[in-house]
Amino acid sequence: MKISKRKSEHIKICLKENVSFKEKKTGFEDYEFIHCALPEVDMEQIKTETEFLGKTLSFPFMISAMTGGCDKAFEINERLAEVCSIERIAMGVGSQRQMMENERYLDTFRIVRERAPDGVIIGNIGAVEVLEISDVSVFQKMVDLIEADAMAVHLNPLQEILQPEGNCRFRGVLKAIERLVKGLSVPIIVKEVGCGISRSVAKRLVGIGVKYIDVAGAGGTSWAAIESYRGAYRRLAHTFWDWGIPTARSLEMVGRIKGVRVIASGGIKDGVVLAKAIALGAEIGGAARKVLKVLLEDGEESLVSLIRLWRTQLKVAMFLTGSSSLQDLRREGVIEKR
């Protein structure tokens, strides 16, 4: 029950407190699109659809890993999955670590595939769990439970330090991830949780066969901030509140590595920022806390409206840069650093 209690606390803090980075920004504000006064494309011709993990999304967006394994998670995941199914976007579940404690909350994960039978669903487990458990079948069961299209392994060393129940034993994690890459039936996505991934780390991951990296950079939600509200290491958490690589900078670092497909999360706040992430090389973008707040405070219809607005904003940005496809949006000369 310790894990489910912690997950419930995280949800409550995200909804009630300001857990954004204080001074550090995503870095996307340092870029601007080059306006094209002669787009030579009709708005209705612009295509935002994209292929991701073998399925087609209506636009390159996913609701990033949120929750699972606690009392509130069933309703949250059910509603999020329904929205994802309606809008044809991807969804990541929260850490499935709780499944190792007991089977009480299995339905909080299982409901996602039930409500989004044809959608892109991504499982989730922490790197320290991957290190501690050498039996790959344990993680394959997590994949099978939700019929996942991929499994995300989250790297969260800062968060682990700041949790009283955290595990800071990271020696051997790279080898453990390699074991998953070779042993699981689905692709592995390695992601941070808000501190970004550097070029050197990404190169090591690619070296063991990882093909998908979610940079999950700094500038959006700070997990140091979230843990500060839990109180155990408040002073230490405040010191590291703004720690991390800004999302755009991390995207620059990782996007230059051959053979990696990049997901950009961390401060994706609207369709224009999403467009910037795509222009800088991301395959798709993701958001979590903003989505959760809209869902729980305003309801599913409001969340659907928000997602449709973001898709329209992306499409308008494409029109105003003369980009008829997402590939066009990535061409040279579309975006520049101020």
Instruction: Map out the domains of the chain with their CATH numbers.
Output: 2-22+61-297 (3.20.20.70)
Q: What is the mean pLDDT of each run of 10 residues along the chain (338 residues)?
A: 75 92 97 98 97 98 87 93 98 92 89 98 96 96 97 97 91 98 98 98 98 98 94 91 98 95 98 98 97 96 98 98 98 95
Token pair listed for 319: 């029109």
How buried is 147 (Cβ within 10 angstroms: 0-12 exposed, 13-18 middle, 19+ buried)? middle
CB 168 within 8 A of CB 158: no
The tokens for 236 are: 């230490």
Straight-line distance from the first to the last Cα atom of the chain, in angstroms, rounded to the nearest whole number: 50
Three-state SS for 216-264 is CCECCECHHHHHHHHCCCHHHHHHCCCCCCEHHHHHHHHHCCCCCEEEE
| Residue where the block lists tokens 């300001």 | 18
Q: pLDDT, tens digit, for every residue of 297-332?
A: 999 999 999 999 999 999 999 999 999 999 999 999
Q: What is the DSSP letter of 30?
A: G
**pTM (two decimals):** 0.95
